[in-house]
Structures are given as C-alpha cells and as structure tokens.
Amino acid sequence: MENLSRRRALTLGVALGLVGAAAPVPAWASAGSAAGTAGAGKLAGAGAAAGPGPEWIWDDAADPLMVRMIEGGHVPAINRAWEGWVNNDDPIPGGLPSDFAAYLAQVNRLPSWADQAKLERAADFNRRRDTYLFMLYGLGSGIMSTVIPREAKSVYWSAGGADMQDRAAKTFTFGYDLSELGAFKPTGQFVVTANKTRVVHAAVRHLLPQSPHWKAVADESTPISAADILVTFHSLGTYVHQKLLEWKIPYPAADQEAFLHMWQVAVHLLGVPYEHIPKTWAEAVAQSQRVLTPILTPSTEGIELAEDLLGLTAQIDLGVTRGFLNEFVRYVLSDQVGDWLGLRRDYAAAALVRTAWPAFILFREGLSPVMPGTFYMFDQFIRALAMLFLNKGESGKTTPITIPTGNRAG
Ligand code: HEM
C-alpha cells in the first residue's frame, strides 16, 4: 500500500470535507499508518478498551461457523432456505443446519443499548433527507469505496466482483433496508439484512485467502477486520455527516445524534464489538481522519470497479451526461480522487455543478426563493439515481443477499 505523506493526506482530507479547518494534526501522522499490519490503521485509543485493537478482531461467532458451513457444502441449502427470511420478526427459517439456525437465533436481535426513540428519529431523518443521502452514499461513499484499497481488492476478487451491477444492487439493499421507516422495528428488515451481510463477510474471510489473485495483491492475511468495517462506516456515515454540515443542510443536534445511533447499531450488527464503536461524532470524525483519509489511494482493481459503477448509470437516462456525472463525483470527492480514477474532465459541467448544486440546495431547503433553472435537471438526476440504486425499477423488490461459495475466477 502506498504510504501517503501527511501533507497529501491532509489536503485530501480537507478536499473531502473529512478534516475540519481548525482540526488538530491527526494522531496517525506521527503514529505511522497501517502498512504492514493486518488491519486498517491503528484504531486503538479512540475509546477502545484494553485488549486487541480492532485490526486484530474478526468475528469469533460467525467465522468458525461459516468455515464449517462452506467445508460441509451447506451454503446452497442455506441460500435457498433463507430466501424468504426477510422481516425482523420472521421466524428463523426451517431447513438450516442446526448450528447455523442456533447462531441466527442468538444474533438476530437488537443490542440492549439500542434506543428505539433514536432509531425512529433516524428513520424520519432518512426520509426527510433522502435526496442528499442518495447522492452522497451513491456517488460519494460508493465511489470512495473504490479508493479504499483493501475494500476494492476484496470486492473485486470475491465472487460478486464479477457482476458489479448485481453487487451494487445488493449493497444498496443494505442502505435501503437501513434507511426505511421502521427499519429496526419487528416489521422492518434491517436486522435480517445486517445478519445476512455479517454471514457473507464471514464466508469471505474464509474464501478470499484461497484466491491466488487476492493473495497476490492483498497486504493482509484475513480480510474484513473490525477495523476495516469501521473504515467503511466512516466512508458512509461519517462522510455523509460531514458533507451535510459542509453543505449547511439544516441538521439539528437531535438528528445528528439519531443518525449516529443508527450507524452504531448497524456496525454492531455487523459484528464490531461495542467498545470499538465511536460514541460521538467528534470521536468518529477523529477516528476517520486517522484511519480513512490516509489510506485512500488508487489500485488497478479500484479503478476498474469505479468504471463499472459509473458505467451502470449509462444504462438509464439520468438526464445528464457522463461528463456531468464525472464532475459530480469530483465535486463530492475531490479532484485528487477524480484524477486517481481517471475521470475525464468536462469543465462546462464542472462549472455547472459547482454553482447550480449549492443553489439547488438553497432552494430545496427554502433558504432562497430563487428556483434555479437547473432545478428539474437535478431533480430528474436524483430520481433516476434512486431508481438505479434501489433496483426497484421492475420487480419492486430488492435483490436477495446470498452467501458466496467461491471467489472470482480471474
Ligand atoms: C458483501 C455491506 C464492510 C467486503 C457485502 C454485502 C453487503 C455489505 C450488504 C452483501 C452484498 C453482496 O453480497 O455483495 C457492508 C457494509 C460494511 C461493509 C455496510 C461496513 C459498514 C466491508 C469491508 C469489506 C467488505 C470493510 C472489505 C474490506 C465485502 C465483500 C463482500 C461483501 C468482499 C462479498 C461480495 C461477494 O458476494 O462476493 N457487504 N460491507 N465489506 N463485503 Fe461488505
């Protein structure tokens, strides 16, 4: 992995809105970065308890179970059996190996510290803010994941990497179920989706180290540590949180707290121990500056994934050109990231995005009475993106999450 200089990482952090103007020098700058360790940078010290840091934590409950399920050839039966297992209050499906069913019964619940009032507020916030959330998760976090080298390489070389459209749809199932009204209630679907994802990650931990392609490019022995999951959380939740503030979207303290709480519960359901999850946004932002900003860098796999993801949008009419899309990505992620990914410049579109998007926000938020001439263009763009990402177009259903049984062939 390329070791970024402190100046370069700080510049990038500022461009991404990940570093406050008056932010102190991040601790990682002197502590050394993740290169050569099994995890994604040193997370210890960010409220972590004594014991191994999250870069040394994987999933004691799910990992050994999934080794048994894969080695025993049970995965196809599990995928079939859990297809109709969707709502949080659905009974654990029949037809599962008994130890797998027992595991699900154990984990398929909210942690004791989950606060329903905050989760409900978060759901309402997601509804009120869905425009910005789609744009930021889809074009910001989604493309950022391609410059998180460990994530890009594991996604590329796992089975799902061969079909990015399907994979993107599954990932958005997670986002959709998380953002739905009542996501965490018995009739919601997020607890089940998170548990399916946790099991998929456990399968990947066993499968990927068997891929000669992944082994040739990975700088770790076992993928998807708790530290890696926290890095991804920062590329999603912490990034969006900071962008909403930067864009001056009305975002009261109670919404901020609720949005954080939703992510805390989500990350915990993915198997990250409570003591390693940031307790405040200030802690999350500091951790993100330490463990996310400095590791962002391009890779062959990431560049191809980004092209696949952006190419997906060519299949539907977004009402904008590819040049506009490239420039929107540059706008939300910085020119540095755009250059890394080789996103072709379109200077006219760049000028449009930089002036019209803030005007669109002001008008939408009732902060300006002037409706920009580009209002309908943005509106159409957002709707089309939402349809694409939610994959709701034809079926009206989200894509089922399935456990892989192998890796990408090559
Ligand atoms: C699978 C979400 C962290 C690598 C999935 C899936 C979801 C998901 C919904 C299932 C969909 C699918 O099969 O494609 C998340 C979330 C994360 C997170 C919300 C953190 C907040 C990570 C990290 C890595 C990773 C840190 C690697 C460093 C993978 C891989 C798959 C996967 C390789 C399997 C794809 C396949 O089937 O081949 N993830 N993930 N994920 N995730 Fe994650």
Of residues 19 and 325, more confidently modeled: 325
> Using an 8 Å Cβ cutoff, are 196 and 399 in contact?
no
Confidence at residue 36, expressed as pLDDT on a 0 to 100 scale: 31
Q: How far is Cα 150 from Cα 78, in angstroms, rounded to an integer?
A: 28
Q: How far is Cα 159 from Cα 403, in angstroms, rounded to an integer?
A: 10
Our answer on whether the CB atom of 54 is closer than 6 Å to any ligand 1 atom is no
The atom of ligand 1 lying closest to the CA of 404 is 37
Does residue 10 carry a pLDDT above 70? no
Q: Which domain holds residue 212?
A: 117-189+204-295
Does residue 140 carry a pLDDT above 70? yes
> Using an 8 Å Cβ cutoff, are 225 and 38 in contact?
yes
Does residue 295 carry a pLDDT above 80? yes
Region 327-354: mean pLDDT is 96
Poorest-pLDDT segment among 125-139, 172-186, 286-300, 346-360:
172-186
The DSSP code sequence of 129-163 is THHHHHHIIIIIIHHHGGGSHHHHHHHHHBGGGG-
The atom of ligand 1 lying closest to the CA of 208 is 33
Confidence at residue 276, expressed as pLDDT on a 0 to 100 scale: 96
Q: How far is Cα 192 from Cα 284, in angstroms, rounded to an integer?
A: 26
Burial-class residue 270 by CB neighbours within 10 Å (0-12, 13-18, 19+).
Answer: buried
Structural domains in the chain (count): 1
367-372: long-range contacts, CB 8 A cutoff, minimum separation 24: none
Confidence at residue 86, expressed as pLDDT on a 0 to 100 scale: 92
Confidence at residue 54, expressed as pLDDT on a 0 to 100 scale: 94
- CA–centroid distance, 197 to ligand 1, in Å, is 7
Work out the mean pLDDT of the chain and round it to a whole number: 86
Confidence at residue 168, expressed as pLDDT on a 0 to 100 scale: 73
Q: How far is Cα 281 from Cα 257, in angstroms, rounded to an integer?
A: 8
- CA–centroid distance, 169 to ligand 1, in Å, is 12
Inside any domain, residue 328: no
Inside any domain, residue 347: no
Inside any domain, residue 31: no
Region 336-363: mean pLDDT is 95
Of residues 381 and 89, more confidently modeled: 89
Does residue 363 carry a pLDDT above 60? yes
Burial-class residue 347 by CB neighbours within 10 Å (0-12, 13-18, 19+).
Answer: exposed
Inside any domain, residue 403: no
Confidence at residue 166, expressed as pLDDT on a 0 to 100 scale: 76
Which residue type occupies 222?
T
Q: State pLDDT tens for residues 155-191.
A: 999 998 888 777 776 776 677 778 888 899 999 999 9
Inside any domain, residue 219: yes
Phi-psi bin for 50: left (phi > 0), alpha (psi -120 to 50), beta? beta
Inside any domain, residue 140: yes
Confidence at residue 24, expressed as pLDDT on a 0 to 100 scale: 36
Residue in 335, 292, 357 with CA at minimum distance from that of residue 132 = 357
Q: What percent of the chain shows pLDDT beyond 70?
A: 83
- CA–centroid distance, 174 to ligand 1, in Å, is 10
Q: State pLDDT tens for residues 198-252.
A: 999 999 999 999 999 999 999 889 999 999 999 999 999 999 999 999 999 999 9
Q: Which two tokens stand for residue 374?
A: 């580009």
> Using an 8 Å Cβ cutoff, are 169 and 391 in contact?
yes
pLDDT tier for residue 52 given thresholds of 50, 70 and 90: confident
Confidence at residue 27, expressed as pLDDT on a 0 to 100 scale: 32
Our answer on whether the CB atom of 160 is closer than 6 Å to any ligand 1 atom is yes
Poorest-pLDDT segment among 38-47, 283-292, 300-309:
38-47
Q: Which two tokens stand for residue 133?
A: 């959330």
Inside any domain, residue 239: yes
State how far the alpha carbon of 381 is from the alpha carbons of 160, 245, 375, in Å.
Answer: 27, 22, 10
Inside any domain, residue 105: no
Of residues 178 and 261, more confidently modeled: 261
In the block, tokens 């708790």 appear at 226
Q: ipTM for the complex?
A: 0.98
CA 20, 21, 23, 25 torsion: positive or negative?
A: positive
Q: State pLDDT tens for residues 19-28.
A: 543 333 333 2
Our answer on whether the CB atom of 265 is closer than 6 Å to any ligand 1 atom is no
Poorest-pLDDT segment among 42-46, 274-278, 367-371:
42-46
Q: How far is Cα 206 from Cα 334, in angstroms, rounded to an integer?
A: 35
